């Protein structure tokens, strides 16, 4: 993959426009405080010097994305949003896909990474590139540029690495990195392969400084040591001061990890996390999280975000913050059409829409998170209520029918012994079962 400043595809984008773009495009002096307020700034090198550079602008800056998995996740989304804010403010972004560094992988807190084959990494790099492109504008005076560090690292010899890069690194500094120190103290230790990662990332900053005048690198707070390695390498090799900017680790209000499950990821690729599941993650956010994440993950102006927070505080049951957050982030990642489809599905599941109008794929995704059972010819309404797990037993199921609280495909059932036929199957696969307003389950055809 060679570098380019034009996307290889033209995907549907959800970049901020109009008032949102104008709000984000603040001059350098205000930009740092604006992005700090949004939760997009943890620490920087020499903030006063960086503030002056941004005010004088334009600054050319970059963030790197390693293909150590076939998709970006929520942590990368923070960097993509920061890249876009800086571009809207009149600066020049470079997005780096780590075709070289992805072959090694940044050292983890524990355990050595499995080294993937060159073909796998190359395929994942292409997938990441396609995910990054919709977030940036590749035209105009501040056009983005996409690069792959394999272009300058692939032919780098071991002698060149040691003579031209390694001589600028001090072993004490490298050993003092938190992750390295932790791994060295552990039973598994750390290989020279992963230990050398910081040389390669530092060299990326040096190459981008030389090739494109890049003077700022952004990354997550866990990358601070690697970012500083690049800053120091440029200073020693070129005698020039450059900058680093980190974003905070995103956590929940209760202090637990941000993710689908504890330690899990909210993937951006629809084949790894469906748009419906993606939307549901955000819409199920706790009140405090939703209000805070609106600042970080959307481009709405401050005044509007403050108004949403105030209204949400007055009427939390309306879940305005969650619905706004889920809609904006899903549109940003998957496009407006996908958001509309999942919102229709969410409404239809709870009786506010026609289930039979839902696309088969959207319906599959929507019911995949529900308690489930198996539909077979002859299954009765009572059987369905029990098998789907929405009631505790047959007596509870009969009581739900008698009280008017049993629904099949959003249709109230008054005969618990009615056999569900093939006509009840949505798209020939599923029967949605509901007790009351919010207790849902699904039966799926055994051979589906």
Domain count, the chain: 3
Q: Is residue 312 part of a domain?
A: yes
Q: Is residue 81 part of a domain?
A: yes
CA atoms within 13 A on the CB side of 54: 28
The answer to whether residues 178 and 206 belong to one domain is yes
Domain boundary among 295, 328, 363: 363
The answer to whether residues 426 and 376 belong to one domain is yes
Element (H, E) at 420: none
The phi, psi pair for 61, rounded to 5°, reads -135, 165
- Compute the distance between CA of residue 121 and CA of residue 117 in angstroms, rounded to an integer: 6
Record the tokens describing residue 93, joined without a space: 């972004």
pLDDT per position as a tens digit, 242-269: 999 999 988 888 777 776 554 468 999 9
Q: Is residue 98 part of a domain?
A: yes
Contact 90, 58 (CB under 8 A): yes
In the block, residue with structure tokens 């056999």: 419
The answer to whether residues 124 and 41 belong to one domain is yes
Below-50 pLDDT ranges, the chain: 1, 7-13, 18-29, 262-263
Residue 349 CA to chain centroid, in angstroms?
26
Record the tokens describing residue 28, joined without a space: 């350098």
- Compute the distance between CA of residue 178 and CA of residue 222 in angstroms, rounded to an integer: 9
- Compute the distance between CA of residue 38 and CA of residue 32 in angstroms, rounded to an integer: 10
- Compute the distance between CA of residue 79 and CA of residue 86 in angstroms, rounded to an integer: 11
Q: Is residue 254 part of a domain?
A: no
The answer to whether residues 71 and 215 belong to one domain is yes
Residue 3, pLDDT score: 56
Residue 13, pLDDT score: 46
Residue 11, pLDDT score: 40
The whole domain housing 184 covers 19-247
Coil vs helix vs strand at 153? helix
347 annotated as a binding-site residue: no
Q: How far is CA 308 from CA 286, 322, 439, in A?
A: 15, 10, 29
Domain boundary among 345, 363, 381: 363
Q: Is residue 257 part of a domain?
A: no
Residue 180, pLDDT score: 82
In the block, residue with structure tokens 């680093």: 244
- Compute the distance between CA of residue 275 and CA of residue 331 in angstroms, rounded to an integer: 9
Q: Which residues pair with 216 in a beta bridge?
A: 61, 243
The answer to whether residues 71 and 107 belong to one domain is yes
Query: Closest by alpha carbon to 226, among 101, 405, 132?
Result: 101
The answer to whether residues 313 and 343 belong to one domain is yes
pLDDT per position as a tens digit, 33-67: 999 999 999 999 999 999 999 999 899 999 999 99
Residue 15, pLDDT score: 58
> Which CATH number is 217's domain given?
3.40.50.620
The answer to whether residues 53 and 196 belong to one domain is yes
Most distant pair of Cα atoms in the chain: their distance: 82
201 annotated as a binding-site residue: yes
Residue 264, pLDDT score: 67
The answer to whether residues 204 and 84 belong to one domain is yes
Residue 194, pLDDT score: 86
The answer to whether residues 148 and 231 belong to one domain is yes
Residue 259, pLDDT score: 67
pLDDT per position as a tens digit, 287-306: 999 999 999 999 999 999 99
**DSSP assignment letter at 17:** -
The phi, psi pair for 410, rounded to 5°, reads 70, 10
260 annotated as a binding-site residue: yes
**DSSP assignment letter at 102:** G
Contact 89, 24 (CB under 8 A): yes
Query: Closest by alpha carbon to 240, among 211, 210, 278, 272?
Result: 210
Classify burial at 421, counting beta carbons within 10 Å of its beta carbon; exposed 0-12, middle 13-18, buried 19 or more.
exposed
pTM above 0.85, yes or no: yes
Q: Is residue 259 part of a domain?
A: no
CA atoms within 13 A on the CB side of 232: 17
Angle at 103 between CA 98 and CA 108, to 5 degrees: 90
Q: Is residue 340 part of a domain?
A: yes
In the block, residue with structure tokens 């739900």: 400
- Compute the distance between CA of residue 223 and CA of residue 108 in angstroms, rounded to an integer: 11
The answer to whether residues 63 and 173 belong to one domain is yes
The answer to whether residues 318 and 287 belong to one domain is yes
Contact 338, 11 (CB under 8 A): no
Q: Is residue 23 part of a domain?
A: yes
The answer to whether residues 96 and 189 belong to one domain is yes
Tell me what percent of the chain is helix, strand and coil, each rounded to the nearest 5: 50, 15, 35
> Which CATH number is 292's domain given?
1.10.240.10
Domain boundary among 247, 264, 293: 247
């Amino acid at each position: 993959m060679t570098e380019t400043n034009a996307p290889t595809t033209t995907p549907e984008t959800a970049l901020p426009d109009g008032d949102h773009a104008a709000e984000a495009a603040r001059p350098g002096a205000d930009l740092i405080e604006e992005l700090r307020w949004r939760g997009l700034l943890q620490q920087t090198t020499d903030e006063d010097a960086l503030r002056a550079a941004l005010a004088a602008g334009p600054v050319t800056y970059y963030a790197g994305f390693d293909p150590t998995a076939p998709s970006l996740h929520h942590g990368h989304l923070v960097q993509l949003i920061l890249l876009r804010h800086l571009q809207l403010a009149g600066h020049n972004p470079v997005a780096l896909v780590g075709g070289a560094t992805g072959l090694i992988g940044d050292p983890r807190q524990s355990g050595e990474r499995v080294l993937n084959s060159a073909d796998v990494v190359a395929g994942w790099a292409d997938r990441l590139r396609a995910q990054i492109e919709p977030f940036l504008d590749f035209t105009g005076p501040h056009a983005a540029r996409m690069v792959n560090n394999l272009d300058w690292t692939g032919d780098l010899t071991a002698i060149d690495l040691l003579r031209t890069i390694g001589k600028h690194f001090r072993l004490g500094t490298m050993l003092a990195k938190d992750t390295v120190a932790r791994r060295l103290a552990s039973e598994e230790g750390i290989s020279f392969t992963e230990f050398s990662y910081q040389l390669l990332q530092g060299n990326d900053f040096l190459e981008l400084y030389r090739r494109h005048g890049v003077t700022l690198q952004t990354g997550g707070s866990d990358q601070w040591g690697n970012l500083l390695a690049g800053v120091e390498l440029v200073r020693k090799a070129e005698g020039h001061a450059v900058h680093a900017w980190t974003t905070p680790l995103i956590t929940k209000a209760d202090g637990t990890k941000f993710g689908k499950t504890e330690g899990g990821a909210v993937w951006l690729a629809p084949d790894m996390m469906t748009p419906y599941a993606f939307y549901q993650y955000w819409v199920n956010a706790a009140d405090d999280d939703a209000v805070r994440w609106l600042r970080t993950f959307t481009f709405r102006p401050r005044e509007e975000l403050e108004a949403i927070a105030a209204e949400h505080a007055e009427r939390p049951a309306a879940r305005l913050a969650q619905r706004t957050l889920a809609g904006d982030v899903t549109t940003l990642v998957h496009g407006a059409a996908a958001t509309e489809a999942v919102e229709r599905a969410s409404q239809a599941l709870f009786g506010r829409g026609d289930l039979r109008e839902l696309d088969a794929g959207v319906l599959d995704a929507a019911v995949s998170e529900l308690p489930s059972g198996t539909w077979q010819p002859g299954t009765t309404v009572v059987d369905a209520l029990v098998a789907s797990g929405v009631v505790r037993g047959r007596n509870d199921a009969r009581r739900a029918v008698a009280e008017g609280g049993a629904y099949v495909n959003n249709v109230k059932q008054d005969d618990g012994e009615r056999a569900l036929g093939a006509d009840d199957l949505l798209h020939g696969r599923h029967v949605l079962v509901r007790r009351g307003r919010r207790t849902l389950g699904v039966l799926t055809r055994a051979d589906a």
